Each structure stands twice: as C-alpha cells, then as structure tokens.
Structure 1
Amino acid sequence: MTSTEARLKERVKELTCLYEVTSIIVNADYDDLKSSLDEIVLCLKRGWQFVEDTEVILAYDNFRVQTKDYKPSQVCLYTNIKVFDENSGYIKVTYPENKYQLSDFLKEEQDLLDNISLTIGHLFERKLVRDREAAIKRQMERADRLHILGEITAGIAHELNTPLANILGFAELLQEAIKDKDALRDIEKIMENAIFSREIVKKLMFFACEMPQEMVEIDLIPLAENALKLLQPSFRNKNIRLKKLFSHDSIKMKADTVQLTQVLFNLIMNAIYYSPVEGVIQVDIKKSAKGIQIKIADQGDGIEEKNEDKVFEPFFTTKPMGEGSGLGLSVVHGIISSHQGTIGHEPNKPKGTIFRVDFPNSQAC
C-alpha cells in the first residue's frame, strides 16, 4: 500500500470515528450517559492508526470509562474536556511505551481527539442545563403546592379556632358546675384533647405564616447553644457526638426568638431521631457576604428520592404511627419563609442528610 493510500485510509478512519461519536452523542440518553461514553471509548480505539495497541480512558466528574487493557503509564495523546469553559475532565489515547513513542501518533489524531472532546463537553453542558431546568421545575411545582396548602391550611386553622375555643369554654363552665368525680375526669379529657387540637392548629398557622411575630435583634450563637444544651439528654441517649462549626462568636439577625428557637429545635431533634447510635451531628452556622446560613447534618439513612419533594408538606412523615404528626418540618418551612429565608436539603456524604437554612443580608444585623 502506498503512503498516499495509507494516509487516505487513516483519514477515512478518523472521519468515521468522528461521525460515529457524533451519532452516539445526538442519540445519547441523559439518564444513562455511561452507556454512551462506553460506546465513544470503543469508537476512539477503532479510530487510531494502530488499533490493536490502542487503549482509551475518558474521565469526567463521577464518570470514568476505559478500554479493557488500559494502563496509566503509557505513551499518550491527551486533551481536556471543557464544560462551560472550565476543565472538567480529560480523554487519553495510549500506546504501550515499550513499542511506541509520542512521534508515532499522527497530528490529525490529536486534532480528532480535540474535536471529540469538544463535542463531549457540549454533551455534558446540555445534561447540566437539562438537570438544572428539571430542578427548577421541581422547585416551582413544590412552591406552588406549598402555597396552595398554605392557603387551605390557613382557612382550616381559622375555622377550627372558634369551635375549639367554644369547646374549652363550655368544658370549663361544666367543670365548675359538676361535682361528680367521674364526670369531671371525662371533662378533663375533653379539655386535654381540645388543648392538643389547639396546638395542632397553632402549628398549622405557623406553616401558613399566620402567626404574629415579634421581630427583634437576636444573637444566633447563644440561641443555638441553649437549644443544644437542652437537647443534651437526647444526644446522650444515643451516644451521638456533636460537632459545632461557628464562623463568628456572635452572629446577629432580626428574628422572632420563639419561632427561631422552634426551627433549631425541630431540625436538631429530627437529626437526632434519624441518626444512628454513636453517630455524628454537625451544626454549622456562618455569616458571609451573602447572608446567614445554618446547616444541620446527620448520618442517618437519608431521604429517599421519592420523598424529596414531600418533606415540607404538612402531615407527611416517615416516622412510625404515633411518633410524629408530620408538622415539624412544615412548621419550620413556614417560619423560615416568614423570615424571608429559604430551606432545602441535600445528601450528606457518605450517608445522611443536610438541612440548609439561608437568611438574606436584609435579616442580618
């Protein structure tokens, strides 16, 4: 075969490789990118001059795919994968160092590798955009649901307040008028249950942001320290280790003291409940140019994907019957919203959940 024919054959292989890779990318399943990357790596192996000795590795974020006999210490062509103009991964095409030198690679092969890394970078960019759009859509849908639930809840709470007040009032009148001990015990049960129901209504009003607030300047660090001190018995019961990270000795903000204490109690109690025995809970409070952030991390089993959008909905709970009303996190959400803040959750590593509360600079003092 003449050198012209050999060069032409190599150009055909390179163009075929580029076409195949482009076709794979166009038809890629964003939910199963690893399969597409496996195919791309095999296409790259076939596109090089010495196919039988060519090995390929492609790495990006959590993805790492390579041909069967790839070894790190070999002669290689290298190119970065850029995603939104940042080096986020790489591709290496290698030959065995005992048989080849860097000069055995063709200039056109480096150009091919650069073009393919560019198209792969565009693939990851489209995936990131798609994932962000899906996340924003989920957040908007959740916000809409919570807004509707808030309106319904506020209406229910207002409707229940009057009959509950009447039940308590008439029960107190009966208590004064009746002398029979058995009847009095029954009346006490009526009053206890009415008071319990009133507390649930109060929590519903917290969720709906209907409770009056007394906004004053508070120091967040002593507030958190007091909450943690009161919860020490719960930490000891499960032998849980507490890790505190405070960016400043004093972090001041405008808030309702009672409501913010309730937020800290609910989030820390939740972390204790789901933490394993001898686990670690981390409470991280920091003030920055962006505002004030509170993070509470546990090492429990984490939140299942199917429940991620439900955790702040009233009456939703994963606790066994009788151990939770499902109002704790919905109350926390309502209080934080009324303070112009936001709350979210993310996985803890290697396992567990992090609840993140952000207050804007307008709340900081």
Structure 2
Amino acid sequence: MGHTLTFENSNQNDLNFFYFFQNSKYPLFILKKNGIILKANSAANKYNLKENTDLFAFVIELEAQQAKEKLKKLENEEPLSLSVKIDFSSFPNFLLQTSWKVILLDAEHFAFSCEELHQYSPEDFLLHKGLMRIIFDSDPNLIGIVNRIGHYLFVNKALYDFAGKNNENNIEKLNKLIEEGEISLPGNDLHDKEIVQNPISEVELTTDHSGNPIWFENTKVPIQLPFGEQVQLIISKNLTKWKVTEKKLEDIHEVLDYYRKISYLGEILAKTAVDLRNPLTLILNFMNNVRQNKNEINTLELDTVQISLQTIDSFIEKIEKSFRVMRSIAKNNVSVRVENIKISDLISNTLNVLIDKLKAFDIKLNINYSGLEEQEISCQPINFNIAFRFLFLNSIDSIIISQTNENRLIEINISKKEKRISIDLSNNGAQILEEYKNKIFEPFFTTKPTGKGSGLSLNIAKNIIEQMNGTITFQSNEKKTTFTIELPCL
C-alpha cells in the first residue's frame, strides 16, 4: 500500500527519498488525513507550512472545503496511481494563487508538491511587504489589497484604526469579522461585484467602528499577480471635510436663492403698493366730497351713507396697514440692507397685518416692552419681519391645534442683558412633546395635520436669526411654550 514515510530504520531508497525531499527547491509536505502537516521540507517551512500545523487553518473556508472534497476522492484510488490539482488563493506570507499537485501516498497520508513558489524567495516577500509597511503605514488614507473573494491580503495601519483593531493587526481576524458581518470597510464590496478591470473611483458614505458617518473616495486599481491571481488595490481617501464644506456651500446657495426670491417679492410688492395706492386716493377723494356735501342728502340717505363711510374707513385702515408693510418690504431692496431700528417698530410692523387673525380666533395679545420701546438693534428689517412672523403664526397655530376655547393668550416680553436684547414669544397652546424637541427646527418637520404645514417656517426663522448673529431657543411644558430670540443691540 504505497510508500510509508517513517524515516526511521530506513533502507537506502528511503534515505535517497529523504535527501531529495529535504533539498528540493520546491515546497513539499506530507499531510495527514486530518489536515495536520506530518513532514515539510525547508522550502515549505519558509512559507510557514511547518510540521504539526493545520494546513486548512491557513486558507479560506471555501477553498479548504473544496480541497477536502478532492482529497476524499483520492482515498478511493490506488496509492501513487492518480494525482489531483488543488488551488489555494493565499497563505499568510505571500499574495498569489498557488496550484498544488497532490498524490495519495498510503491510506493515511497525502503528498503535496508546488512548482510555483520557488520563483519567489521568502526574502522577496518580506522585502515586498516590508516596503509596503514603511510606505503605507505612514499614509493617512486607508489602503488594502483584496483578493477575488473579498478577503484582505494586506492592510495598512490606517485601515486597522478605522476598523477599531489598531492594537491587534491580525489580518485573519479582520477577514473573519468581515465574513461574519461584524464590520464593513470602505470599498470592499467584492461579495457583490467582481474585481474591476480598469481603475475606477467611487464616493461612498459609511460609518467607522464608533458609528460616526464618514465619506470616502475609493480608488480601485486591478493588479495581476504572477500565476494568474487577480487582486485589487483599494485606496480610500477621507472626504468628510470636503463633504461638510460642500454642504455649507449648498446652504449658502439656498440662502442666496432665498434672498433673490425675497428681492423679487419686494419688487412685486412695490408695484402692488403703487397699484393699490391709486384707487385708494380716488376713494378718499370721493369720501371727502360726500362729507362736504352731506347737507344735500336727505335723512334716510344720510344714515346709509354714514354706515357705508364707516365700513369704507375700516377697510381703508386695514389696507393702509398692509400698504405700510409692503412699502417697508420694497423700500431700497431691504432684503440686503442693514438698518438701526427700534425694537418696538420692528414688532409693530410685523403684528400690524396679524391683528385681524388674532381677533378671528379670539386670541388675546399682551406685549411688555419693559421700558425698552426706544431700544434700537442693527438688523435687516425684512428678515426680522419674516422670522418673527413665522414664529408668531406658529404660536397662533399651536393655540388652534390645542382646541382650547378659553383664555387663548400670546405674550411678548422684551428684556435686556448687557449688549443683547431678548424677545420671549409665549403661547398657551399645544405643548411640544419631548420626542419632537430635537427635530423642531429641522426642515420639513411638522407636527401639524397633513396639508396644514410645510415644516419650513421654524427652520427659516432659525436660519435668519442666526444670520443676524442671534440665537433662538425654546421651552415647552403643559402650561405654555416660549420661543426666546436673543440679538445684539446698540
């Protein structure tokens, strides 16, 4: 039953074989049926294929299973009568595919011979990987070499750090964690795709081991190693700072777009104000003529005319308020103009067009200036008007949604501390629930019924206040909700 390798009490043929075995330039080893290496020559030892080591612990699980199946088939053959070819993609000390010729020696042992590894000495691989370590471990980019099944053959220090394994530097453990889905590394998606045929660059959003979002630009370069093995070099450059800057530029673009729209709105309102002023002048002239000639009107007609005049006076007063606001908006393209203006004027200009809405919903308004009516602040009046109007309308909606029918109240309290003025806008409407407090200023977030709110008003108000070097905060409980605006004052 074949040739038994005891190397003890051997005859001359055994000794000749032993001499050839030990001095062959090819890696040779004898494998037990349980996968443990029984004997290995010096060429195999250079690649850590040593006696009493488990061969299949060096290779990936899939290739180990395929090799075991081929060895199983050999067991049914006559010893030394048939050989099979077994491929392994990598061992710890080199980055290439190897093909092994395997023969059944006897019922318990297999002989492995590789005719490829001798072309590279262990020193070549050590030099190669040593240079890679010196060069790539000092590189802040994540650098790795991946084989065709997605396993890393080489990674630099930055990649270990990203994976949270900076103190281990164990590539086998790293691959196992990837295989089990415990970690995910940028650019390594070979379980879904084949190795690229040409260099490509892709941007990917991922998270590090602490859960922090990080943007990477993954450059993938295919590498054809000796003996047909295909691997892929992946260099991942951290783009997070660039992405943050890009987001800021997008925000600035949105603000500029917003200002352009406001500027255009100012032009429209200016034209509307002129168109509105002309018929108002005619109406006022007509009313003056009627009043001057009221003696010519009989008693019955006079009562009717007086009622009509009172109604017209009421409408004209409302139109005048709207006209003043529109003129303020349109004046000098104020969307980009900074003025010194009294806080009382700012608030009254905003509230002039909202008083009727308060009356319509039976909401009481209290304003306490604390003697600061003449206090001036430097701002863009139109922007403050928009921000404060959004906040005020939000207070009205909060009261309406709460369905409270009695004691509906909005309060405005002005106070000053050092060089900052504080505006507290309170309402006794619906409470802001705890789970919504971190989202209240997010764009498109709204707690209003579907179709009743865009979710943009508070976000726009916050952005405007912050652009004025101010801050906006809020507190909410069962009794009331208060938004506090703080702005620098003169």
TM-score range, shorter chain: 0.3 to 0.5
**Structure exhibiting the larger radius of gyration computed from Cα positions:** 2
Higher relative contact order (CA 8 A, sep 6+): 1
TM-score by length of 2: 0.34
